[in-house]
Amino acid sequence: MYESEFEQSVFDLRREKLKQIEALGHPVYPNSFAATHTLAAIRAEYDTATSETLEQNRVSVAVAGRIMAIRAQGKAGFAVLQQNGVRLQIYVRLDAVGEPGFQLYKLLDMGDHIGVTGYLFRTRSGELTVHVDTLTFLSKAMLPLPEKYHGLADVELRYRQRYVDLFMNADVREVFVKRAAVLRAMRKVFDERGFLEVETPMMQPIAGGAAAKPFTTHHNALDIDLFLRIAPELYLKRLVVGGLDRVYEINRNFRNEGISTQHNPEFTMLEFYQAYANYHDLMDLTEELIPYVAMEVNGTTKTVFNDVEIDLSQWQRFTMREAIIHFWDEEAGPRPTMEDFLDIGSLKSWIEKIIPREILLRDTLQGIDVRPPFVQRALGISTPPPNLHARLNAVLHFIYLRMVRDEITVGQGIASMFEAVAEEHLIQPTIIYDFPLAVSPLSKQKPDEPDWVERFEFYIGGFELGNAFSELNDPVEQRNRFLQQLGERERGDAEAHAMDEDYVRALSFGLPPTGGEGIGIDRLTMVLTGSRSIRDVILFPLMRPQVKQADADAMSE
């Protein structure tokens, strides 16, 4: 537990102080304190009260808090109490608290919890302060607090010891208060619109509803492997089949994939389903929902993310293909047209206008690995690529090779192009709609374009926050889509869907036309709090456990 002999000695020293406090007649770990006010209530009520008002109508208070600063000054002294993120100064003087009270004051350390009674006044410099009559010891900080001015700055320590981070850094606390406000606002919206909040299994025999690698676990009594869910989607739609026309769930999903500033292995998603709605209805709903939540949380629809001001009430919409065309940088080559997206042949010949055919083909002839890093290396591009064009070229090359090899469809190629060309430009709220069928195994096809589906994602701050579609409700088509996914699974795509017979059976009882959407709560909170890393909006982000040297030695023995 101790980081050092220094900490050990501080701990021991404070045990001595506890003994002395006990000798003064104070219980060292009392079980309550009868406060008359919270510090927040005092600040709210008396922050504007003048010195004269406080003298004329003496306000007696009993308050408690953690000592965040202590300044002894001979036969008097100050301390700053913090409670629920709110601070208030107290003033302790020997002639007011008496000798035993002042003895206790001298035994206090930064971080201790105390309660005091007294009355409010303003100091010479005007600070609202409790003039203490009695001190009650509540709990001791046995370990030293971080530096009082800079706080706890080391990001690793902040994540690993969030309990310290939270009481040292007020802005951290604020983020999690806002996160709670996001959840509250979301629940309010959906409750008011007649949605039922439900909870579906986190442990699933088949991890479906998204393309991702699941965590595996095991149930001993049943002796079966189970997966932590990657999405609640398939269960929620079963509920709509069951007649719960409007349902939502806010809970964790688990994906056994990389960790980054935008990905934590467990993350919170709001997912909702609305019978008789389609993706157009959900686009409209989304454009109402996000600014509403922003108003509830921040009191404004404006937010600053990565130094850019974002207005969450101003939305733009593009189809995926429009977005590629719109955000295409002509310095990289001729802008594509809708016709270029028609089929594999047209997309290939357009890519040949960007990258010479002999280069595109050379690598296939050499039979090299076509995973992006290898493509990049083959093209003489260092990793990571030094600029956007090099990265784009690598992606186009990659798409081209896989199309030549019949490994992907034109739709998958277009989806990859979209990510490479457009995603980083989607800072202001943007809906991207009409996705390729090939990357959307659970979405309903567009009636006039069967290779495309009624699906959209919305982006803010350069990353995806939500994903929605008109749900595929034809069980025969759904079965075929699953079979197709199984094929991709066999070709090595570990994230392709597994067959879920029971889900197909549920659809066979009739799912009404339904729109469904998932919204990443962590990412929305990032945008609303200006947090650049998802770890800053998750209380305990996953960290590799620290192995102490002693433990490491013990394990190797």
Partner RNA sequence: GAGCGCGUAGCUCAGGUGGUAGAGCAACGCACUUUUAAUGCGUGGGUCCUGGGUUCGAGUCCCAGCGCGCUCACCA
Binding to RNA, residues 73-112 (CB under 7 A): 73-76, 78, 80, 89, 91, 93-95, 109-110
Find the binding residues for RNA in span 461-480 (CB under 7 A). 463-465, 467
Backbone dihedral angles phi then psi of residue 146, each to the nearest 5 degrees: -60, 170
* Residue in 25, 194, 243, 258 binding RNA, rule: CB under 7 A: 258
Q: If binding is defined by CB under 7 A, does position 154 make contact with RNA?
A: yes
* Residue in 11, 28, 151, 539 binding RNA, rule: CB under 7 A: 151
- Check if the beta carbon of residue 20 is closer than 8 Å to that of residue 44: no
Q: Which of 231, 235, 243 is nearest to 503 (CA)?
A: 235
In this complex, which beta carbon is closest to RNA, that of residue 377 or of residue 475?
377
With a CB cutoff of 8 Å and minimum separation 6, the contacts of 198 are 236, 239, 244, 247, 248, 249
* Residue in 41, 62, 69, 504 binding RNA, rule: CB under 7 A: 69
In this complex, which beta carbon is closest to RNA, that of residue 183 or of residue 295?
183
CB of 109 to RNA, least distance (A): 5
The CA angle 498-504-505, to the nearest 5 degrees, is 135
Cα separation of 508 and 478, whole Å?
A: 10
* Residue in 1, 4, 48, 330 binding RNA, rule: CB under 7 A: 4
Binding segment toward RNA, per CB under 7 A, in 37-45, 138-146, 297-305, 445-453: 138-146
Q: If binding is defined by CB under 7 A, does position 546 make contact with RNA?
A: yes
Listed in order, strand segments (DSSP E) in 232-281 are 246-254, 266-275
What DSSP assignment string belongs to 84-125?
TTEEEEEEEEHHHHHHHHHHHHHT--TT-EEEEEEEEEE-TT
Q: If binding is defined by CB under 7 A, does position 433 make contact with RNA?
A: no
Q: If binding is defined by CB under 7 A, does position 139 make contact with RNA?
A: no
- Check if the beta carbon of residue 186 is closer than 8 Å to that of residue 179: no
How deeply is 137 buried, as exposed, middle or buried, from its count of CB atoms within 10 A (0-12, 13-18, 19+)?
Answer: buried
Find the binding residues for RNA in span 200-219 (CB under 7 A). 210-212
CB of 350 to RNA, least distance (A): 20
Q: If binding is defined by CB under 7 A, does position 53 make contact with RNA?
A: no
Binding segment toward RNA, per CB under 7 A, in 148-156, 331-339, 358-366, 483-491: 148-156
Binding segment toward RNA, per CB under 7 A, in 147-155, 191-199, 239-247, 341-349: 147-155
- Check if the beta carbon of residue 368 is closer than 8 Å to that of residue 378: yes
Q: If binding is defined by CB under 7 A, does position 457 make contact with RNA?
A: yes
Q: Which of 96, 104, 85, 98 is nearest to 28 (CA)?
A: 104
CB of 510 to RNA, least distance (A): 27
Q: If binding is defined by CB under 7 A, does position 124 make contact with RNA?
A: yes
- 3-state helix, strand and coil shares in percent for the chain, rounded to the nearest 5: 40, 25, 35
* Residue in 187, 335, 391, 489 binding RNA, rule: CB under 7 A: 391
* Residue in 1, 25, 32, 156 binding RNA, rule: CB under 7 A: 156
Site string for RNA, 501-520 (x = CB under 7 A): -------------------x
Q: If binding is defined by CB under 7 A, does position 57 make contact with RNA?
A: no
In this complex, which beta carbon is closest to RNA, that of residue 127 or of residue 199?
127
Q: Which two tokens stand for residue 265?
A: 């292995």
Q: If binding is defined by CB under 7 A, does position 162 make contact with RNA?
A: no
- Check if the beta carbon of residue 517 is closer than 8 Å to that of residue 271: yes
* Residue in 11, 33, 119, 121 binding RNA, rule: CB under 7 A: 121
CB of 339 to RNA, least distance (A): 26
**Region label for 195, one of left (φ > 0), alpha (ψ between -120 and 50) or beta (otherwise):** beta
In this complex, which beta carbon is closest to RNA, that of residue 157 or of residue 224?
157
* Residue in 149, 222, 339, 510 binding RNA, rule: CB under 7 A: 149
In three-state secondary structure terms, 148 is coil
Q: Which two tokens stand for residue 301?
A: 């629809």
Backbone dihedral angles phi then psi of residue 70, each to the nearest 5 degrees: -145, 130
In this complex, which beta carbon is closest to RNA, that of residue 7 or of residue 133?
7
Cα separation of 324 and 434, whole Å?
A: 13
Q: Which of 115, 97, 98 is nearest to 38 (CA)?
A: 115
Find the binding residues for RNA in span 17-36 (CB under 7 A). 17
* 545 DSSP 8-state letter: P
Find the binding residues for RNA in span 356-385 (CB under 7 A). 371-373, 383-385
Binding segment toward RNA, per CB under 7 A, in 35-43, 280-288, 291-299, 539-547: 539-547
Binding segment toward RNA, per CB under 7 A, in 193-201, 281-289, 445-453, 546-554: 546-554
CB of 557 to RNA, least distance (A): 15
